[in-house]
Amino acid sequence: MATPELPDIASLRPDFIWGVSTSSFQIEGATQEGGRGPSVWDVYGHTDELKNRDSGDVACDHYHRYPEDVALMKALGVQAYRFSVAWPRVLPQGRGSANEAGLAFYDRLLDELLAAGIEPWLCLYHWDLPQALEDSGGWLNRESVAWFTDYTTLVAGRYGDRVKRFATFNEPSIFSLFSRSLGQKGRSAEDDLHRMIHHVNLAHGAAVDVLRDKVRNVSIGCIHNYQPCRPSSDRAADAVAAAHLSTYWNNAFPDPQCLGEYPAAMRSAVAPHVEADDLARICRPLDWFGLNHYSPVYVAAKPGALLGYDFGNKPSGCALTPIGWPIEPAAFADTLRIVHARYALPVYVMENGYGDAMQPDETGAVIDSGRMAFLRAYIEAMNAAAADGVDIRGYFIWSLLDNFEWDSGYSKRFGLTYIDYASQRRIPKASFDWYARLIRAARQP
Ligand code: BG6
């Protein structure tokens, strides 16, 4: 397959921001260095539930190799880099004494980024909850709102001089829906889910207030995984299950955060956890909507399961990435139109990308034509949505580096850069050069 042409981006704004995204636990490694405490992923990551028994212990060793990774970003030409702070690195017990060595790591990273002319976009929470807080009930404990407020105060105070773009959470619906703490010790998983959703929403609102107060000229959003939930057959039960899942997957967080109310379909279930004034505390003014989008989700009814659903068959003949995710750029354009119409905020695409398992060829190169074709089609879909008037201001690829892909360990690769985990050698893939060319072309006056 020949290298795909660059996409048509004529409808994107002249000040459009091109970036890449990563997250702390997926790349940093050094989980036991510099005074870091354990996160829930350190504990879960040492169970045999993970693919190949992979763990995040070393990951991309970014903790030590960040100068090389910033140099890669500079070569790529990105204007912005979205990363997350590991809560247990800066507060090993989740609360209480801060860890100066951990705080200093992000100082070094930020200084390196700013020296390279790359704007840091800091996400406060990308799933690595300190284990000590999980042991105290985690997000099921309403105290978590205070823990997150204090953590945000620390991060805002330390980095707010250099960071102006903050995201409160990455994909709150995903880490809630798939949380392993739901329904433990005989509790109802469904009730736990509602409790968790509400506490995370409250923590979001509290963090927005802290950031506004502490950081001059701050620009704040929350990053949502928003995917059309489609029935996997024409059975009525599957359509009901898909609509129900969509309420939770897509709307349970942005609706109260941006519109001030829970979706009608879940209002009575969440009500027992909602206290007076809570909705006003959640719905704080935001500057942008962060969208992560990969593909639609196909849903089948499964009575008795949490929210009564399971993942169902994808339509026969639908194009798939090598890891089995549907390739449907039109669904991306639709999603952009939907979130912009519903939430009336400028949209930044904070994740979009393509997973495979591709290894270097005999010459040592990684010619990832599938990824380039995917990115081209998705960027053109975004351009089409912009042409329709959707206010899209930036696009960040997941991810700069192949990394620890959660339950899949290192078996899935989303990077523009290949990581040889044995040597930690970084090999920019063909898509890296292609994206660099696109950014150069886009930024030409
Ligand atoms: C997003 C997450 O859901 O998708 C990333 O924010 C993640 O952290 C990415 O790595 C790819 O998904 P997965 O499930 O293959 O790791």
- Mind listing the pLDDT tens digit for each residue in 336-362? 999 999 999 999 999 999 999 999 999
Q: What pLDDT was estimated at residue 370?
A: 98
- pTM of this prediction? 0.97
pLDDT, tens only, 164-217: 999 999 999 999 999 999 999 999 999 999 999 999 999 999 999 999 999 999
Place 82 in a pLDDT band, splitting at 50, 70 and 90: very high
Using a 10 angstrom Cβ sphere, with 0-12 exposed, 13-18 middle and 19 or more buried, the burial of residue 444 is exposed
Q: What pLDDT was estimated at residue 4?
A: 85
Q: What pLDDT was estimated at residue 3?
A: 82
> Does the pLDDT of residue 1 top 70, yes or no?
no
Q: What pLDDT was estimated at residue 281?
A: 98
> Does the pLDDT of residue 329 top 80, yes or no?
yes
Rounded-to-integer distance, Cα 244 and Cα 230, Å:
11
DSSP string, 216-230: TT-EEEEEEE---EE
- Residue among 27, 127, 406, 407 to mutate when testing ligand 1 (max atoms within 8 A of CB): 406
Q: Which two tokens stand for residue 183?
A: 């329904």
Measured in angstroms, how far is the CA atom of residue 268 from the centroid of ligand 1? 31
Rounded-to-integer distance, Cα 201 and Cα 398, Å:
25
> Does the pLDDT of residue 54 top 90, yes or no?
no
Q: Which atom of ligand 1 is nearest to the CA of 174?
A: 3
pLDDT, tens only, 402-442: 999 999 999 999 999 999 999 999 999 999 999 999 999 99
Q: Which atom of ligand 1 is nearest to the CA of 294?
A: 4
Measured in angstroms, how far is the CA atom of residue 325 from the centroid of ligand 1? 12
Q: What pLDDT was estimated at residue 312?
A: 97
Rounded-to-integer distance, Cα 376 and Cα 392, Å:
17
Residue 398 Cβ contacting ligand 1 at under 6 Å: yes
Beta bridge partners of 413: 356
Measured in angstroms, how far is the CA atom of residue 189 from the centroid of ligand 1? 23
Query: Measured at the alpha carbon of residue 439, what is the angle toward residues 436 and 444, in degrees to the nearest 5?
Result: 125
Residue 432 Cβ contacting ligand 1 at under 6 Å: no
Place 444 in a pLDDT band, splitting at 50, 70 and 90: confident
Positive or negative, the CA dihedral 233, 236, 237, 240 is positive
b or e along 365-393 (b: 16 or more beta carbons within 10 Å of the residue's beta carbon)?
ebbbebbbbbbbbbbbbbbbbbeeebebe
Residue 406 Cβ contacting ligand 1 at under 6 Å: yes
Measured in angstroms, how far is the CA atom of residue 227 from the centroid of ligand 1? 13
pLDDT, tens only, 271-324: 999 999 999 999 999 999 999 999 999 999 999 999 999 999 999 999 999 999
Measured in angstroms, how far is the CA atom of residue 405 from the centroid of ligand 1? 6
Which of 237, 219, 239 minimizes the C-alpha distance to 229? Answer: 239
Q: What pLDDT was estimated at residue 53?
A: 80
Q: Which atom of ligand 1 is nearest to the CA of 23?
A: 8
Measured in angstroms, how far is the CA atom of residue 204 from the centroid of ligand 1? 21
User: Could you tell me where the beta strands, DSSP code E, fall in 141-296?
Assistant: 165-170, 219-225, 229-231, 288-292
Place 52 in a pLDDT band, splitting at 50, 70 and 90: confident
Place 118 in a pLDDT band, splitting at 50, 70 and 90: very high
Place 51 in a pLDDT band, splitting at 50, 70 and 90: confident
For the segment 37-56, the average pLDDT, to the nearest whole number, is: 86
Measured in angstroms, how far is the CA atom of residue 56 from the centroid of ligand 1? 14
Q: What pLDDT was estimated at residue 49?
A: 74
Q: What pLDDT was estimated at residue 404?
A: 97
CB of 120 closer than 8 Å to CB of 81: yes
Residue 269 Cβ contacting ligand 1 at under 6 Å: no
Rounded-to-integer distance, Cα 21 and Cα 171, Å:
13
For the segment 239-248, the average pLDDT, to the nearest whole number, is: 98
- Residue among 39, 414, 416 to mutate when testing ligand 1 (max atoms within 8 A of CB): 414
The second-level CATH assignment, the architecture, of 17-443 is: Alpha-Beta Barrel (3.20)
pLDDT, tens only, 364-373: 999 999 999 9
Residue 226 Cβ contacting ligand 1 at under 6 Å: no
> Does the pLDDT of residue 92 top 90, yes or no?
yes
What is the residue extent of each domain of the chain?
17-443
Q: How many helices (H) and strands (E) does the chain have?
A: 16, 13
Rounded-to-integer distance, Cα 120 and Cα 113, Å:
7
At residue 343, the 3 state secondary structure works out as helix
- C-alpha distance from residue 278 to each of 81, 203, 209, 273 (Å): 33, 11, 14, 10
Residue 176 Cβ contacting ligand 1 at under 6 Å: no
> What is the enclosing helix (H) or strand (E) of 80?
strand 80-84
For residue 5, indicate whether it is catalytic.
no
Among all chains, which residue has been given the structure tokens 């010790």?
A: 185
Ligand 1, atom 10, residue with closest C-alpha: 405
CB of 429 closer than 8 Å to CB of 416: yes
Q: Which two tokens stand for residue 248?
A: 């939770």
Q: Which atom of ligand 1 is nearest to the CA of 414?
A: 11
Residue 355 Cβ contacting ligand 1 at under 6 Å: yes
Q: Supply the mean pLDDT for the chain.
A: 97
Residue 132: partners with Cβ closer than 8 Å, 6 or more residues away: 37, 38, 88, 92, 93, 94, 95
The answer, yes or no, to whether the previous bond of 399 is cis (omega within 30 of 0) is: yes
Rounded-to-integer distance, Cα 336 and Cα 326, Å:
17
b or e along 275-295 (b: 16 or more beta carbons within 10 Å of the residue's beta carbon)?
eeebbebbbbebebbbbbbbb
Ligand 1, atom 11, residue with closest C-alpha: 405
- Residue among 351, 354, 402 to mutate when testing ligand 1 (max atoms within 8 A of CB): 351
Q: Which two tokens stand for residue 64?
A: 């030590």
For residue 351, indicate whether it is catalytic.
yes
For the segment 389-414, the average pLDDT, to the nearest whole number, is: 97
Residue 264: partners with Cβ closer than 8 Å, 6 or more residues away: none
Q: Which two tokens stand for residue 134?
A: 């999980």
Residue 368 Cβ contacting ligand 1 at under 6 Å: no
